């Protein structure tokens, strides 16, 4: 079969923070694809506000550059395990990958995950060892680690003969030498490797059309847009085509617009042929994995396999005493519409109804995956409540199984004992322990996923911010009996409604850590801090100092309280216990008991205890 030698389709894959997006930015800039205005921005490919704030890629992006008369379609993928669903479907669109590996950190858990997905899709790898300018860079050792990983993942003979380019994406330099002093101010070595080693797409534009959707977008003017690759044939504006749905049904429609990609822009085009990555509009209800074909020859491509969710949370309408004060969208109908809308673009998400019309079980690939959804909804003006994250139990061959995570920890040597103890308490099983020779120890563990809920905050505290924790889904294994990783301390729960006072906080701050500052509006049943001991403690922090006509000896002394610990959304979700909710509004994130009244909570606890004793 003839090939389109003027095109290459390639994805950039890596562990989180190894420099994918910075590399793509430099490839765009050095290919002279961008105009001068676009060159002023860092992380140009991360267009989402949360992506820019957190410095991570969440959604896959596609772009194209011109290089020596050829077109290279580049897809920038997320590096975090929770967004692996994005990586999996991108593999269907490309013929090769550029694997970016940090010259100091080497191969990490997500490196294994993204590379495994690449091998499953049968694509050809090119390896870029990035950040060779780091003082502690060890590029040759890292290449050996990559080779070991290739062999471990069952790479074939062709895949093991991978080309290696050494680069510093931040500086826009690359070289074929591991010596950082021999870096050159060009990205041509990477472009040349892509053109030489990654196969060109087949030139079968004269055959019946096959276009598969891998990503979805939406535009107010043209409606829903399907982004994907033309695998066969040619598609033009005005064509009558057939959409082959995942459920087997078929719908005819007319192509209203076609878009190609160049740099950061989406450009209207008249037609596209096999090998092109394009965006198509004209249909109302297209979903990821569906195939657009000729109306005469309706041969659908196999649907994409996407790994199933491993974590779930209950999303509820906000019924706190402060409900409706701060959000625009507060009703169950609005909340359900927004969750269902997310399903149109997020293939790793599941939304299931419950027995209550005001609650839904939302399942995803991890805490970060779900917290990003909550944060997006909060910014869009939604009010909601969410429960504690729970792992999804599956029955495999009649055995109840739970998800396990592969955990890799880099910690200063003085903290390794505490880290080992904490992971052992969470039923972790040590796989490997090695001294990296830089005053740090690398620990590899297999840990039940529920043991990691809430662990990152504890880990950062134990290592005083110097530790690095990475984890990715490994497999489902038989469920471990008993509780794992539950909170060791109780909550400080408000008994009154009002505004927190300095006097009230002073009276209770010795009992634990306070989360709110004076002047914060509080309601009964709201969690205002963490108890220093086990069990919840009811407190009154809205209490005001009684004024009398007797002058006190210390009247003129200024009241001083400790700075409160302000929890982020992720920290709030990690803190939750099974009888608590996190209330999320555009302006605030609050923690509360599911049952607000103190007496009602006590009765519910008695009923629960009695029921467990009867069992």
Phi, psi (5° rounding) for residue 55? 70, 30
Is residue 102 within 8 A of residue 167, CB to CB? The reply is: no
Beta strands in 336-391 (DSSP E): 350-353, 359-364, 384-386, 390-391
Angle at 420 between CA 418 and CA 422, to 5 degrees: 70
Tell me whether residue 111 is annotated as binding.
no
Q: Name the burial class of residue 269, with classes exposed (0-12), middle (13-18) and buried (19+) by CB atoms within 10 angstroms of its CB.
A: middle
**Phi and psi dihedrals of 388, rounded to 5?**
-65, 140
Beta bridge partners of 219: 223
Which residues are CB-contacts of 485 (< 8 A; sequence separation ≥ 6)? 426, 450, 451, 452, 453, 454, 455
* Residue 17 is labelled as binding a ligand: yes
Q: Binding residue per annotation — 354?
A: no
- Please tell me whether 20 is known to bind a ligand: yes
Report whether 217 contacts 279 (CB < 8 A). yes
Contact yes or no for 326/585 (Cβ under 8 A):
yes
Contacts of 272 (CB under 8 A, 6+ apart): 230, 234, 235, 236, 258, 260, 278
Q: Is 21 annotated as a binding residue?
A: yes
Nearest Cα residue to 470 out of 364, 346, 366, 568: 366
Torsion angle in degrees (nearest 10) through CA of 549, 550, 554, 558: -10
Burial 280-289 (b: 16+ CB within 10 A, else e): bbbbeebbbb
User: 22: annotated binding-site residue?
Assistant: yes
* Sequence-separated (6 or more) residues with CB below 8 Å from residue 348: 83, 84, 85, 86, 306, 307, 309, 364, 365, 369
Antiparallel, parallel or unpaired: β 277-281 and 394-396: unpaired
Of 292, 304, 187, residue with least CA distance to 233: 292
DSSP 171: T
Q: Which residues contact 543 (CB under 8 A, 6 or more apart)?
A: 496, 501, 503, 504, 507
**Alpha-carbon distance 247 to 420, whole Å?**
48
213 annotated as ligand-binding: no
Measure Cα distances from 543 to 375, 495, 503, 528 in Å: 33, 10, 7, 14
Note whether 422 and 383 are within 8 A (CB). no
Q: Residue 219 in 3-state DSSP?
A: strand
The reply to whether 131 sits in an annotated binding site is yes
- Residues facing 394 on adjacent strands: 401
Q: Please enumerate in sequence order all residues whose Cβ is within 8 A of that of 95, keeping only pairs 6 or more positions apart, or say none.
A: 8, 9, 10, 123, 124, 198, 199, 200, 201
In angstroms, how far is CA 422 from the centroid of its own chain? Answer: 25
Annotated binding site for GTP: 17-22, 130-133
Annotated binding site: 17-22, 130-133
């Amino acid at each position: 079969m003839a090939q389109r030698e003027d095109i290459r389709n390639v994805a950039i894959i890596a562990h989180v923070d190894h420099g994918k997006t910075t590399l793509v930015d430099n490839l765009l800039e050095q290919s002279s694809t961008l105009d001068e205005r676009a060159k002023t921005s860092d992380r140009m490919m991360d267009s989402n506000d949360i992506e820019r704030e957190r410095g991570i890629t969440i959604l896959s992006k596609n772009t194209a550059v011109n290089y020596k008369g050829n077109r290279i379609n580049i897809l920038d993928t997320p590096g975090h395990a929770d967004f692996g669903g994005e990586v999996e479907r991108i593999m269907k669109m490309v013929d090769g990958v550029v694997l970016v590996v940090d010259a100091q950190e080497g191969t990490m858990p997500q490196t294994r995950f993204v590379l495994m997905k690449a091998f499953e899709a049968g694509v050809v790898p090119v390896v870029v060892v990035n950040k060779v300018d780091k003082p502690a860079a060890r590029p040759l050792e890292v290449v050996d680690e990559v080779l070991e990983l290739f062999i471990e993942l069952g790479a074939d003979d062709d895949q093991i003969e991978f080309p290696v380019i050494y680069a510093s994406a931040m500086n826009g330099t690359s070289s074929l030498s591991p010596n950082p002093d021999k870096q050159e101010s060009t990205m041509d070595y990477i472009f040349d490797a892509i053109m030489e080693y990654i196969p060109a797409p087949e030139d079968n534009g004269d055959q019946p059309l096959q276009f598969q959707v891998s990503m979805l977008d939406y535009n107010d003017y043209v409606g829903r847009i399907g982004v994907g690759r033309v695998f066969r044939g040619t598609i033009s504006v005005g064509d009558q085509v057939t959409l082959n749905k995942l459920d087997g049904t078929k719908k005819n429609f007319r192509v209203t617009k076609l878009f190609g990609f160049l740099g950061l822009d989406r450009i209207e085009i008249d037609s596209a042929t096999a090998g092109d990555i394009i965006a198509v509009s004209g249909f109302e209800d297209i979903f990821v994995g569906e195939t657009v074909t000729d109306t005469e020859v309706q041969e659908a491509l196999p649907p994409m396999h996407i790994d199933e969710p491993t974590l779930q949370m209950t999303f509820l309408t906000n019924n706190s005493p402060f409900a409706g004060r701060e959000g625009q969208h507060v009703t169950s109908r609005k909340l359900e519409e927004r969750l269902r809308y997310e399903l149109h673009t997020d293939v790793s998400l599941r939304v299931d109804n419950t027995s209550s019309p005001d609650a839904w079980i939302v399942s995803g690939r991890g805490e970060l995956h779900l917290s990003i959804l909550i944060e997006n909804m909060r910014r869009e003006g939604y009010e909601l409540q969410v429960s504690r994250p729970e792992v999804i139990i599956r029955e495999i061959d009649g055995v109840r199984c739970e998800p396990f995570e592969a955990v890799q920890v880099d910690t200063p040597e003085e903290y390794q004992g505490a880290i080992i103890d904490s992971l052992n308490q969470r039923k972790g099983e040590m796989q490997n322990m090695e001294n990296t020779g830089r005053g740090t120890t690398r620990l590899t563990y297999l840990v039940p996923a529920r043991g990691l809920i809430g662990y990152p905050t504890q880990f950062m505290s134990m290592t005083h911010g110097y530790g690095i924790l990475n984890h990715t889904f490994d497999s489902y294994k038989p469920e471990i009996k008993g509780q794992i990783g539950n909170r060791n301390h109780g909550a400080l729960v408000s008994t009154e409604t009002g505004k927190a006072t300095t006097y009230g906080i002073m009276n209770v701050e010795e009992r634990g850590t306070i989360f709110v500052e004076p002047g914060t509006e509080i309601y009964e049943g709201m969690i205002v801090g963490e108890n220093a001991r086990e069990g919840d403690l009811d407190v009154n922090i809205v209490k005001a100092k009684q004024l009398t006509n007797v002058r006190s000896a210390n009247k003129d002394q200024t009241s001083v309280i400790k700075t409160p610990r302000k929890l982020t959304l992720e920290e709030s979700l990690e803190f939750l216990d099974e009888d608590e909710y996190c209330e999320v509004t555009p302006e605030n994130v609050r923690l509360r008991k599911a049952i607000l009244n103190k007496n009602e909570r006590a009765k519910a606890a008695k009923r629960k205890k009695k029921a467990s004793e009867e069992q």
